[in-house]
Structure 1
């Protein structure tokens, strides 16, 4: 008679062990890939620091400020990652990333400079013949394997995203009882902060490119689109329905976080401006309200009513999807702007509110006690005046300095965003 073997150990012990074995296999696979890619990454960083940074410094082909603008903190990053690679090759993943986390400020510096680096490199490639020849000779070395300097300079940005995924996988497959678990968890948080910084910088850069594109679409320099704190949202054609019985006219609209810009296409007879638009009205969104006149049903398109302090707009679209998107975009922009304005208003009230103890009210000067409402009126007048400022002036860290510096160039833009002015 034969007997089948019973379960090994206590009930469910086999399943738990199988799960642990799967975690260990995943962890080992992730660890091997991390070590392999780190070795390759350090080799590529060494190419840049040896054949570009050091040799350019010795030859003097580029000025120091230009060289630092292009390569930023890549030499410091190379040094940090060489130390990390030693730990990874010895299997000390938690300890390695625990030591690299305080050095991530070198990556922050590099991340914040990457778009400037790309711009400066492009300028030098166009204007500096000696550097252009030097770059071509270095990239032709067999060590580079046909890699371009532009691609190598993007590697630290890409590596942060890779670290994020590697660390998340390692942490997910490491037991909480393992001494490395807390080290890896802390490293995930630190690397995710740098990754978020990269995403924020990318969004700001893309927004700046959109603002520049719209600015180039507009004829002349009277309509100012580039402004601090302004975000591009969308653009498109809408029919403007006049208040009196006239035909609706198609106009181009550009929606930003703080204003709606109406424009018309330039005459095709103007050869220099045939593909451009002429700005007509800039409507500020601070005190705007938007409502659907019709378009609530499944009919095609709809009619939007926009009410401003000094004007009213009726905008019609024959496409329902486009109409709904305009309504959602406008409503969202107005809501965000007004909520931000409320926060700034409340913050200024708190900053200006005097801090007094309970006994101070008995010791106030006679002039203040004789007219207790005077100071409150003055404060409210200041905050309401601040609330009426365009977002480009109050969103920055130092609004007064920004306003003085930008006053000569932006006087027409400020006038257009403070009221529904004809541009």
Structure 2
């Protein structure tokens, strides 16, 4: 009888303890959000106060040159001020609603970041007055040794912090709480923008890799730059001939849809001494990969790549290297086969 009376009390205590834990975590995260927003705003203040505002007044850069470097940073700074104002007053929901209405600013800033870096490098290189001004401002004690280049990525770094902090807040907020729906909307919006920014950065990095490999290849017969193509890896491998010929060392470039086999151009060639000549392009859509064992002595391994009209045997003396190649090839082939096929391709 007594046990039956005690059980609901014990359950109630457990529920209250869980709620108390949630509330402690929520309070801790809310405090962290405010404190990190204050530090973020202080760093944005450095750029706005000591660069943007003074450059406007001095005219060291033309308006178009200034916009190319800083993009919508002033608007992002204003948005952060507004958010912090609401957070410090305890108006989380109102602050998040206001912030999310301005979230596209972070998307525009992400699109502009790489061009901004190039524009900054160009001004440092060609504009003596700006170069001296930049060095003087960065020497201020408030900058703590940071350069303008270190501060420009701050908004995108902060965006990823928002995603984690807001998610933690939502997970420790009761669905019955008045701010829960506002938090849920904010988490969804910020996560979507954060993923878009990350994908934009990945796409840009991939474009640079494709362009780099294109420049490494002699001539323009092989077009590395192609829509939907992703760079995977590159490296030296030994090609084992089918008949008793000499093993040949070649440089391979692996992409999401093709494997390119190359050999280095002659070191004394006037124009192409640092380039590679393409010898074959293998479509991964028609490829199967297998590890071949027992054909190498000691360390290393052998891969067999089978195409409709050719089998390629690739060897490395490094076991880890051959394992990585095997994984990269099988992953690329699997992902390629999972893609929707176009009848016209």
The TM-score range, normalised by the shorter chain, is 0.7 to 0.9
Residues 16-31 of structure 1 mapped to structure 2, 5 A cutoff: 16-31=15-30
Structure 2 residue aligned with 1:250: 249
Show CA shifts across 1:92-133 (max 9, x none): 112211221121001111112111111111111111112112
The CA distance in 2 between the partners of 1:332 and 1:14, in whole Å, is 51
Structure 2 residue aligned with 1:117: 116
How many equivalent pairs are there? 338
The CA distance in 2 between the partners of 1:98 and 1:184, in whole Å, is 9
Residue 251 of structure 2 aligns to a residue whose secondary structure is strand
The CA distance in 1 between the partners of 2:290 and 2:215, in whole Å, is 32
**What root-mean-square deviation, in Å, do the aligned CA atoms of Structure 1 and Structure 2 show?**
3.0
Over 3 Å counting, the alpha-carbon distance change for 1:325 and 1:138 in structure 2 is: closer
Structure 2 residue aligned with 1:58: 57
Q: Report the Cα offset of residue 28 of structure 1.
A: 1.6
2:296/2:302 contact within 8 Å kept: no
Structure 2 residue aligned with 1:32: 31
- Give the TM-score, by structure 1 length: 0.71
Structure 2 residue aligned with 1:259: 258
Moved more, 160-169 or 139-148: 139-148
Show CA shifts across 1:130-184 (max 9, x none): 2112222333344444432112211101111111121122112211211111211
Question: Is 1:294 aligned with 2:288?
Answer: no
The CA distance in 1 between the partners of 2:116 and 2:68, in whole Å, is 5
Q: Report the Cα offset of residue 321 of structure 1.
A: 4.7
Residues 209-248 of structure 1 mapped to structure 2, 5 A cutoff: 209-219=208-218, 223-248=222-247
1:174/1:181 contact within 8 Å kept: yes
Over 3 Å counting, the alpha-carbon distance change for 1:149 and 1:291 in structure 2 is: closer
1:315 to 288, 313, 316: 313
Moved more, 250-259 or 288-297: 288-297
Q: Report the Cα offset of residue 198 of structure 1.
A: 2.3
The CA distance in 1 between the partners of 2:332 and 2:200, in whole Å, is 21
- Give the TM-score, by structure 2 length: 0.86
Over 3 Å counting, the alpha-carbon distance change for 1:296 and 1:327 in structure 2 is: farther
Question: Is 1:193 aligned with 2:174?
Answer: no
Show CA shifts across 1:361-397 (max 9, x none): xxxxxxxxxxxxxxxxxxxxxxxxx31xxxxxxxxxx
Residues 28-177 of structure 1 mapped to structure 2, 5 A cutoff: 28-177=27-176
Over 3 Å counting, the alpha-carbon distance change for 1:320 and 1:41 in structure 2 is: closer
1:219/1:273 contact within 8 Å kept: yes
Residue 246 of structure 1 aligns to a residue whose secondary structure is coil
The CA distance in 1 between the partners of 2:166 and 2:275, in whole Å, is 49
2:234/2:252 contact within 8 Å kept: yes
1:302/1:320 contact within 8 Å kept: no
The CA distance in 1 between the partners of 2:222 and 2:264, in whole Å, is 14
Show CA shifts across 1:242-297 (max 9, x none): 344423322111111232111112334458755543222223334x2224383499
2:267/2:273 contact within 8 Å kept: yes
The CA distance in 1 between the partners of 2:72 and 2:311, in whole Å, is 52
Question: Is 1:329 aligned with 2:328?
Answer: yes
Structure 2 residue aligned with 1:401: none
Q: Which structure has the larger Rg over C-alpha atoms? A: 1
The CA distance in 2 between the partners of 1:323 and 1:210, in whole Å, is 22
The CA distance in 1 between the partners of 2:290 and 2:10, in whole Å, is 65
1:301/1:321 contact within 8 Å kept: no
Residue 176 of structure 1 aligns to a residue whose secondary structure is coil
The CA distance in 1 between the partners of 2:294 and 2:185, in whole Å, is 50
Moved more, 137-146 or 112-121: 137-146
The CA distance in 2 between the partners of 1:163 and 1:302, in whole Å, is 47
